[in-house]
Amino acid sequence: METQYDKKLTRALVSVYDKESASGLIKELHRAGISIISTGGTLSHITDMGIPATSVEKLTAYPEILGGRVKTLHPSVMGGILCRPDHGGDRNDMERMGIDPIDIVVVDLYPFEETLESGASHDELIEKIDIGGISLIRAAAKNFRHVFVIPSKLYFPEAESMLRQGGGKVSIDDRRRMAATAMEVTSLYDTAISEYLGSGQTGTFRKSVGPGVELRYGENPHQQARFYGDLQGVFEQLSGKPLSYNNLLDVDAAMGLVWEFKKPVIAIIKHGSACGAAERESMDEAWKEALSGDPVSAFGGVIAANREIDAGVAGKICELFFEVLVAPAFTPDALEILKQKKKRIILRSLNFEPRQEQYRTALNGVLWQSRDERNTPPDQWQYPTARRPEANEEGDLLFANTIVKHLKSNAISLVKDNTLIGIGTGQTSRVDALKQAILKAKEFGHELVGAVMASDAFFPFPDCVEIAHREGITAVIQPGGSVRDQESVDFCNKAGMSMVFTGTRHFKH
C-alpha cells in the first residue's frame, strides 16, 4: 500500500455539532488552500472566523427543511463524496449533473449519548439522533481511496497535524486508517441508539463502550490488554504509575464493596477478594481494624475508603506497601505524605455507581446478566431458629453478608465487631471455605467466640454449623433453600445458635 502523501486535498465539507472544537482544523484547511462547504451554525462559525465558506444550500440550490432535519442528503453532496475520479462512468455522471468532488469530510455528530446521560426527555433524545452526519461519515469512509474522513472532534487535532505536516496532502494509509475509525464511530453511535430504543432487549449483543486505551499488559506480561470506557468519570488519578489490568479489576472490586456501606469503612482487596475490612466511626480505627484481618495478604493490595483520608490515617497506611489507594477525598497534608513514593497510585473517587449490567466472554459468545444489587435488609430476614440474633450480632451478620456477596464462590466470611476476621473464598466445597476462614482467623490471633458467619449459598448439610459451633461462632446468615435446611436449624437450636435466612443467594464465579 502506498505510504507517500499522494493526494492533495482541495474541497472540504464541514458539519459539526461542537463548533469551537473545529476552529483549529478549519484554520488549517484554509491555510492549506482547501475550499470549504458548510451548513447552518457551522457555516456561521466559519464566516465569523473570517474564513470564506460556501453554504450547502447554494451548492444544492435547495434549502434545508423540516427544521434542519434534512440539509446534506442531496446528490450534489453525496455524489461529490462518493464519486470515483478514476472511474469513467462516475466522471461522466459528475459532468452531466454539474457535481464537483468533495475530498474531505469533517463531522462531529449530535451528542446522543451525552443527552441520554443528562436525563433529557424522549423527544429531546430523538432529535439528537444524527442522520445526515452519519450518512456523510459512512459515504466518506467507503470512498477512502479518494476522500479523507474526520468523524469526530476527538480526531480534529490529529487531522490538523496531518494536514499541516503533509502540506494539505494525506496518504492512502492514513485515509484508510481514519475510515476504519469512522466506521467504529458510527457503529458505537448506532449501538447506543439501538440500546435506548430497544431498552437493552435487542436480539444481538452490542455495546457502545469507548474509547479504548492500551494497558501495559493483561493479567500476565505475555497477554495484551486494553480498557474501553471513561475512567475519568469514575476517579481522578492524583499520582502514581498508569493503572494495570489487574489494578483495574481490584479497584473495581474495592469500590464496589465500599459503595455498599453508609458508615465509614475501609476495605483491602487482593486478587479481587477482600482480605481486610472494617466499619468504624473514624477512618483511623477502620484502617487499624481492617489491616488486622490479614496483614500478610494486605501487602501489595488495593485499599478503598468511603470517607476522606487525613494525614494521620495516610501516615499509618504508608507503613504498608500497597499498590492503590482510592477514596472520595484527601486532605492536602495526606496527599503530601501519600505522594512521597512516585509509583504509588492515588485515586480520588468521583460519583461511582456500579454498572447495572455485567458481561463476559464464554465459549464462542458472551454471557450477560444484571448486577447482583440485592442485599437483603434485616426487616426482610427470616428467623428459623428459636434464638434470634442479639443487636450486636445482627450488625455483624449484615456486615458479613455484604462481604461474602463480594467473594468468589464457594465463600464464607467470619466477622466480629464489624471487622472481617477470616475468609474462605473460591473453594470447591463450603466446608473447605469455612475451614480456610477459621484458619485465617486463628493465624492472626482473632477470637472466634462470639463471631458470626456468612455463607454465599445454603448449607446442604449441617456440617458447617457444627464446625462453626465448635469454634465458638454464635450466629449464622445464609440464603436458605436447601431441602435439608431443617437439619442445620435443628443443630442451631440444640447448640443455642441463631440462624438467619435471607432468601438471596450470592454465587460469584
Question: CA 155, CA 326: separation in Å to the nearest integer?
Answer: 32
Alpha-carbon distances of 383 from 387, 449, 477, 493, 502, rounded to whole Å? 8, 21, 10, 12, 9
| Residues annotated catalytic, as ranges | 142, 271
Residue 319, SS3 per DSSP: coil
Give me 445's grid cell. 490471633
CA-wise closest residue to 433 among 463, 413, 405: 413
CA-wise closest residue to 56 among 435, 68, 502, 507: 68
Question: CA 416, CA 120: separation in Å to the nearest integer?
Answer: 47
Cα distance from N-terminal residue to C-terminal residue, the chain: 47
Question: Is the CB of residue 432 less than 8 Å from the CB of residue 410?
Answer: yes
Looking up cell 455483624, which residue turns up? 396
Q: At what angle do helices 463-470 and 485-495 cross, to 10 degrees?
A: 20
Question: CA 402, CA 376: separation in Å to the nearest integer?
Answer: 9
Question: Is the CB of residue 77 less than 8 Å from the CB of residue 56?
Answer: yes
What secondary structure does DSSP assign to 215-236, as a single string?
Answer: -S-SSSTTS--EEES-GGGTEE
Dihedral sign for Cα 321, 324, 327, 329, please: positive
Give me 422's grid cell. 477470616
176, containing H or E segment: helix 172-197
Question: CA 397, CA 497: separation in Å to the nearest integer?
Answer: 13
Question: CA 477, CA 479: separation in Å to the nearest integer?
Answer: 7
Phi, psi for residue 370 in degrees, rounded to 5: -75, 155
Provide the residue type at 246 as one letter: N
